[in-house]
Amino acid sequence: MATQDIIARSATTTASPSVRQLDEVAKLIDTTLCIGCKACQVACSEWNDLRDEVGSNVGVYDNPSDLTAESWTVMRFAEHETTDEDLEWLIRKDGCMHCEDPGCLKACPSPGAIIKYANGIVDFNQDHCIGCGYCITGCPFDVPRISKKDNKAYKCTLCSDRVAVGLEPACVKVCPTGAIVFGTKQDMKDHADWRIADLNRRGFDNAGLYDPQGVGGTHVMYVLHHADKAGLYSGLPQNPTISPMVGVWKGVAKPLAMMAVAATVLTGFFHYVRVGPNRVEDDEETHAPLASVEHYDPAERRDPRAEGERHE
């Protein structure tokens, strides 16, 4: 695994490796060209080998109805009445925005569990994830989800594995209408300008690019018909910022917490010196799962390839 492209790691104070020169990339999602076909959802499942549960219809087109640890992107459908006679069906592909200033990475307490590449992609390294869920608190877009199977956090990787070898993300490859495009961030901004000019011509005076500066800009951007009303798109935040709680944790609370940890270690040390080590009666208990982790039996996991074979 090449690490020379990593420019930031969670909960780490040591210097990052010297970084190769990489162009910043971006995925541009043009909501004005999106037909909500969900090909991106399917491609995401296929490339990342994810198979969510067959769910239920809850009264809307959105399915699965929310992001999960196995659905890293979902289409969100919103109906917007513009006049008595006119309606817009605003369809937005939701998922990780790959913030320039990622709140998840800031909030993450586990060293190296969240990393940011020089090309702008923010990636989770589940090896290091402790399942605390702070990344969710830190995310202004409510994107990461904790898996009930392994208690790790998951989200869109912007297909970092594909991008690393010069391919576009899977969702981009399959989008039939060219609503999702991928390239350098500058190229994507230029492309957006061309799209916005077309929208202006068609009467969308407030069409614009969504690249929110509250998080330093994003590496997933939207073209919106109503850039002045991002909230119309199933609650897309108009001016997202990282929760102040993350600042508290990283600022004031962190030294205090570190002191508490140190005190615990010291207490343990003195306990050991004075009382001797704690003994566990039954060896097997050491293998018992943590109470906070839901029991997970790998044998229960349904292998989608086996599913496929049965129906071939």
Partner 1 sequence: MTNHWSDIKNANLVLVMGGNAAEAHPCGFKWVTEAKAHNQAKLLVVDPRFTRTASLADVYAPIRTGTDIAFLGGLIRYLLETDQIQHEYVRNYTDMPFIVKENFSFADGLFNGYDADSRSYPDKSDWDYELDENGHAKIDMTLKHPRCVYQLLKKHYSRYTPEMVSGICGTPLKRMMQIWDHIAETAVPGKTMTILYALGWTQHSVGSQMIRAGAMLQLLLGNIGMPGGGVNALRGHSNIQGLTDLGLLSNLLPGYLTLPRDNEQDYDAYIAKRAPQALRPGQMSYWQHYGRFHVSLMKAWYGDAVTEENNWGYDWLPKLDEPMYDVLKYFDMMYEGKVNGYFCQGFNPIAAFPNKAKVGAGLARLKYLVIMDPLVTETSEFWKHVDEYNDVDTASIQTTVFRLPTTCFAEEDGSLVNSSRWLQWHWKGGEPPGEARTDVAIMGGLFHRLRALYKSEGGAFPDPIMNLDWSYLRPDEPAPEEIAKEYNGKALVDLKDPKTGELLLRAGQQLAGFSQLRDDGSTSSGCWLFCGSWTEAGNQMARRDNSDPYDMGQTLGWAWSWPANRRILYNRASADPSGKPWNDKDKRLVWWDGSKWTGTDVPDFAVTSAPEDKMNPFIMNPEGVARFFARGNMAEGPFPEHYEPFETPISRNPLHPDSPGVTSNPAARVFRNDMQVFGTADEFPYAATTYRLTEHFHFWTKHSRINAIMQPQQFVELGAVMAGELGIKAGDRVRVSSNRGYIEAVAVVTKRLRPLMVDGKIVHHVGIPLHWGFVGVAKNGYLTNTLTPFVGDGNTHTPEYKSFLVNVERV
Q: Which residues contact 138 (CB under 8 A, 6 or more apart)?
A: 102, 103, 104, 105, 106, 107, 108, 242, 243, 246
Instruction: Give yes or no for residue 205 binding partner 1 (CB under 8 A).
Output: no
Could you give the string, one character per residue 84-103, with x where binding to partner 1 holds by CB under 8 A and - elsewhere?
-x-xxxxx------------
Q: Residue 51, interface with partner 1 (CB under 8 A)?
A: yes
Q: How far apart are CA 66 and CA 64, in angstroms?
A: 6
Applying CB under 8 A, does 54 fall inside the site for partner 1? Answer: yes
* CA nearest neighbour of 38 among 221, 192, 141, 180: 180
Please tell me whether residue 301 binds partner 1 under the rule CB under 8 A: no
Q: Is 229 in the site for partner 1 (CB under 8 A)?
A: no
Does 307 engage in binding with partner 1 (CB under 8 A)?
Answer: yes
Interatomic CA distance for residues 25 and 32, integer angstroms = 21
- Under the binding rule (CB under 8 A), the answer on residue 60 touching partner 1 is yes
Does 235 help bind partner 1 (rule: CB under 8 A)?
Answer: no
Among the candidate windows 33-41, 162-170, 212-220, 247-255, which touches partner 1 by CB under 8 A? 33-41
Site for partner 1 in 13-32 (CB under 8 A): 32
CB 113 within 8 A of CB 128: yes
Tokens of 264: 């615990």
Which of 54-62, 233-241, 243-251, 289-297 is the region at the interface with partner 1 (rule: CB under 8 A)?
Answer: 54-62
Which residue has tokens 């600042």?
A: 247
Q: Least distance in Å: CB of 304 to partner 1?
A: 6
Question: Which stretch, 17-25, 45-53, 141-149, 241-249, contacts partner 1 (CB under 8 A)?
Answer: 45-53
The reply on whether position 178 binds partner 1 by CB under 8 A is yes
* CA distance readout (Å), 6 to 127, 166, 268: 16, 17, 36
> What is the total count of residues that contact partner 1 (CB under 8 A)?
47
CA 220/CA 261 separation, integer angstroms = 38
Among 190, 193, 200, 202, binds partner 1 (CB under 8 A): 202
Interface region with partner 1, contact rule CB under 8 A, candidates 1-9, 36-44, 141-149, 259-267 = 36-44
**38 scored as a contact of partner 1 (CB under 8 A):** yes
Q: Which of 2, 165, 201, 244 binds partner 1 (CB under 8 A)?
A: 201
Binds partner 1 (CB under 8 A): choice among 4, 177, 239, 267: 177
Tokens of 291: 């109470």
Within the chain, where are the H helices?
Answer: 39-47, 103-107, 134-138, 160-164, 170-174, 185-201, 244-248, 254-275, 304-311
CA gap 260, 283 in Å, rounded = 30
- Three-state SS for 160-215 is HHHHHCCCCCHHHHHCCCCCEEEEEHHHHHHHHHHHHHHHHHCCCCCCEEECCHHH
Q: What separation, in Å, do the N-terminal and C-terminal C-alpha atoms of the chain show?
A: 36
Smallest separation (angstroms) from partner 1 to the CB of 133: 24
Q: Based on CB atoms, which residue is closest to partner 1, 89 or 269?
A: 89
63 binds partner 1 (CB under 8 A): yes
Q: Which residues bind partner 1 (CB under 8 A)?
A: 32-39, 41-42, 45-46, 51-61, 63-64, 71, 79, 81, 85, 87-91, 176-179, 198, 201-202, 304, 307-309, 311-312
